[in-house]
Structure 1
Amino acid sequence: MAKKISKNDNEARKANVKVKEIGGKAVQPALYNGTRIGHGKGIVAVYSDTGLPVYGKDGRPVPYSNI
């Protein structure tokens, strides 16, 4: 009989993670606070390699949930 995999095994969890991409570049979530310029605050997508926010056509950061 095969061994049952534990849900608490960190290595097993990492294998199922899907990386979100925009234009072929990996993105990750980050907290954004743009209340001073009227953008509000929330979780937005930032490029993994540079850490800069991903901006949409309207000039506002793209929410991570919209990817």
Structure 2
Amino acid sequence: MANFKSYLSGSYDELKNHVTWPTASEAQRLMVVVAVFSILFSLAIWGIDELFSGLIKQYYNWVKF
């Protein structure tokens, strides 16, 4: 239990004294960048999924007797 308390104390000290936190405006700008890339990436994955879905449907229609 002493090791756990030491770990928590060290972690708190690290976060409080050694981490450089972004300003509110910088955090907001970075959040917008992450949101835009997340939306673009999800649209790309959706597009690839639709493409492969169509190809698989075409294949099964082609081999159906």
Relative to the length of structure 1, the TM-score reads 0.23
**Normalising by the residue count of structure 2, what TM-score does the alignment of the two structures yield?**
0.23
Instruction: Give the structure, 1 or 2, with the largest relative contact order (CA under 8 Å, sep 6 or more).
Output: 1
- Name the structure with the higher helix share: 2
Higher percent of residues as strand: 1
